[in-house]
Amino acid sequence: EESPYLGGGSQEALPGDEVPEEEQEGGEEQEQEQEQETIQDEEMEEIAEEASERAMPDEDAHDAEPIIDTSSAANLDDQDCTIASADVQENLRVTPTFAASFPGSGARMTWNLITALTGAVTAEDWQIQTPTDTERVAAIKTHHPHPHGRDWPDQADIGGPKDWGARKIKRGMMLLRNPLDAIPSFHNYLFEVEQKLDGHSTRAPVEEWLKWRDTPGDIRCVRTDGTGFHEGDIVRDYALWESPNGAEWNWRDCAKMCGANPQCEFWTLERCCEGRCRLKKNKGRYHEIVDPDNDYREGNYHMDCIHQTNFVQELRFWERFVTFWMERFPVDDRLIISYEGFTSGDSGPEATERLANFLRRSDGLNVAENENVPCIWEKVVNYRKKSNPVLDIAKEAGYGSYNFGEQEASRRRLQAAPITFKREQLRSDVIPKHVDPSDPNSHRTGSKVRPYTQEQLDLTVAMLKRLMKKYSEVKELVDILSMYVDKVKEKQPSN
């Protein structure tokens, strides 16, 4: 089945955004590649500059008549604010909202903020039993379409017993984090589950990270039906002797070459004559070929059709995640936020205010006033300045502990815990142990060093640039991705 998601890059890709051509006499192609890379960098800079000049529609708050009174959730003044615990409200009916994040992106911090701002609980998608449940929580946390997220019901299941309401939700927020930080954090989670450790307690040793990072992942190639081919501009033309076996191309190997070239949009393989594997872009007119001795194999670019490691696979999932949520909701019903924006002392209060404004568009919630947002941000997020931070105020309903063995088993059951958990009263007098100042919602101990090869850094930059180009009109996203590109380029490669 053809994947609806776009992606790119490969573990096999060489530094830069293109797979280099064969060397030619005089080094002309090397010069052309360097010139092309320079042009691409200039294009990305222009995209970022143009995006920064465009203003997105104002996120005006739409007042709604609250169904419940949550005014006691934030009793604030100019000096301090008290954030009370939040319980499940059986009569709560709100506009359902997704809080989507890639695993390892600090989602707990966002849930904490949502609860502190609204006095209403959040829930995990695995806990939702019926479409009605989606209206009883301030937001529904999800990692979809990542494999560790919950699958959505098929169109045919809507209205039936398998329908938990995902497809009826028309608004959501997307939390991003630099993939070079999010992916190691996700690996720490996998390590804790494997070792049966408490959640957010331990970072995986560096040697475990390196082993997991370079372990081969899954490979999936697809091709389209038919025996003809489409016209198009040739990106790269591979002769028979350039095939993996040096004798002939098979369609899967040709598809992998397309997956390894960021410029490739589709591939064509002629089965007779010269038998070339051709990578193309700008798909044109289709030519049907009915000759059984000279037909074609063809397929579109596929993000998973490469020999990839766990790291490269997660990088593809990160790109898929962004693409899915950017296409899911229109601009007025979508909020793009970043982990870095929330945790920065300069932008944290402003980012939290944007979150509060977005939540006000959900009928049925009573959101704290913007004048109180900086205080809420200080207590929930800014642990570096607070000696008595509020922790875990947004534990998912239904989970009383963070034993990851039990939690992982629970989240893998579709019949997850119902939303009946009454939250513990918050205590601001308890100072948490092992708080990582750079990761305010993690108590993990251990080395933070996570090495990357030059190849992996180049693949990350290429992926971010593809998204910048695809969504060049979306200022919020371009600004975040541009920041990530700069951060990746600052990293020093290692083995």
Q: Which two tokens stand for residue 304?
A: 């998973």
Confidence of residue 444 (pLDDT cuts 50, 70, 90): low
pLDDT at 222 over 80: no
Residue whose C-alpha is closest to residue 201's, from 212, 213, 209, 193 = 193
pLDDT at 442 over 50: yes
DSSP state string for 49-93: HHHHHSPPPP--------SS--GGGEEE-SS-EEE------TT--
Residue 214 shares a structural domain with residue 252: no
Residue 244 shares a structural domain with residue 199: no
DSSP secondary structure code for residue 23 in this structure:
P
Structural domain includes residue 224: no
Structural domain includes residue 476: yes
pLDDT digits (tens, 9 = 90+) for 180-217: 999 999 999 999 988 888 777 788 999 999 999 998 87
Q: What is the CA radius of gyration of the chain?
A: 25
Highest mean pLDDT among 364-373, 390-399, 448-457, 468-477: 468-477
Q: How many Å apart are CA 334 and CA 408, to the nearest integer? A: 29
Last residue of some domain: 300, 329, 344? 300
Structural domain includes residue 171: yes
How many domains are contained in the chain? 2
- pLDDT number for residue 460: 95
Confidence of residue 448 (pLDDT cuts 50, 70, 90): confident
Task: Select the more confidently predicted residue: 129 or 5.
Answer: 129
pLDDT at 258 over 80: yes
Structural domain includes residue 117: yes
CATH number at residue 246: 3.50.4
- pLDDT number for residue 224: 82
- pLDDT number for residue 47: 55
Mean pLDDT of the region 275-300: 84
DSSP state string for 194-205: HTTPBTTSBPPP
Residue 197 shares a structural domain with residue 234: no
Q: Which two tokens stand for residue 495?
A: 């083995």
Residue 316 shares a structural domain with residue 390: yes
pLDDT digits (tens, 9 = 90+) for 316-329: 899 999 999 999 99
Residue 196 shares a structural domain with residue 256: no
Q: How many Å apart are CA 260 and CA 254, to the nearest integer? A: 10
| Contact (CB, 8 A) for 306 and 10 | yes
pLDDT digits (tens, 9 = 90+) for 324-375: 999 999 999 999 999 999 999 899 999 999 999 999 999 999 899 999 999 9
Task: Select the more confidently predicted residue: 146 or 26.
Answer: 146
Task: Select the more confidently predicted residue: 421 or 227.
Answer: 227
Beta strands in 144-184 (DSSP E): 172-176
Structural domain includes residue 491: yes
Q: What's the domain range around 118?
A: 1-218+305-495
- Parallel, antiparallel, or unpaired: how do β-strands 172-176 and 98-101 relate? parallel
Last residue of some domain: 254, 282, 300? 300
| Contact (CB, 8 A) for 481 and 50 | no
Residue 11 shares a structural domain with residue 155: yes
Residues linked to residue 298 through DSSP beta bridges, in sequence order: 268
Q: How many Å apart are CA 286 and CA 379, to the nearest integer? A: 60
CB atoms within 10 A of CB 74: 23
The per-residue b/e assignment along 353-382, b for 16 or more CB within 10 angstroms, e otherwise, is: bbbbbbbbbbebbbbbeeebbbbbbbbbbb
Structural domain includes residue 223: no
Residue 17 shares a structural domain with residue 99: yes
Residue 104 shares a structural domain with residue 21: yes
Highest mean pLDDT among 250-264, 297-311, 378-392: 250-264
Structural domain includes residue 347: yes
pLDDT digits (tens, 9 = 90+) for 105-126: 988 889 889 999 998 989 999 9
Residue 277 shares a structural domain with residue 360: no
Mean pLDDT of the region 445-473: 89
Task: Select the more confidently predicted residue: 78 or 155.
Answer: 155
Mean pLDDT of the region 148-158: 87
Last residue of some domain: 274, 300, 326? 300
| Contact (CB, 8 A) for 101 and 174 | yes
Q: Which two tokens stand for residue 414?
A: 């579709």
Residue 134 shares a structural domain with residue 283: no
Mean pLDDT of the region 298-312: 79
Mean pLDDT of the region 152-175: 91
Residue 287 shares a structural domain with residue 315: no
Residue 79 shares a structural domain with residue 35: yes
* Cα angle value 404/408/412 (rounded, 5°): 170
The overall average pLDDT reported for the chain is 74
Q: Which two tokens stand for residue 442?
A: 């993690």
Tell me, letter by letter, the H, E, C secondary structure of 311-371. Answer: HHHHHHHHHHHHHHHHHHCCHHHEEEEEHHHHHCCCCHHHHHHHHHHHHCCCCCCCCCCHH
* Cα angle value 64/476/36 (rounded, 5°): 160
pLDDT digits (tens, 9 = 90+) for 61-70: 222 222 222 3
Task: Select the more confidently predicted residue: 102 or 402.
Answer: 102
